[in-house]
Amino acid sequence: MRGYYVPRKASWDTTACRSRSRSRKELGIRGREGIGPYGVESFVRRCIDSVFNAPGVERELTEKLAF
């Protein structure tokens, strides 16, 4: 807005609702309460892995957003 250039770098959001809902569906977990017995750290790791194991989904979304 004031003439400064700010470079943007595309990245994949590993905490997005898409990766959380995909991981919950794969694990058969319903709601936040179900994550506790599975383990928060294990669930977060599962979400991160789901993004990088299905890069086509994230790449397709990135192209749709024209980024």
Give the model's pLDDT for residue 32: 82
Whole-angstrom distance, CA of residue 41 vs CA of residue 8? 30
- Would you place residue 17 in the very low, low, confident or very high pLDDT band (cuts 50, 70, 90)? confident
pTM of this structure? 0.59
pLDDT value at 5 more than 80? yes
Q: What is the pLDDT of residues 22-65, one digit of tens each?
A: 888 889 988 888 888 989 999 989 888 877 776 676 677 767 77
Q: Which residue has the higher pLDDT, 3 or 58?
A: 3
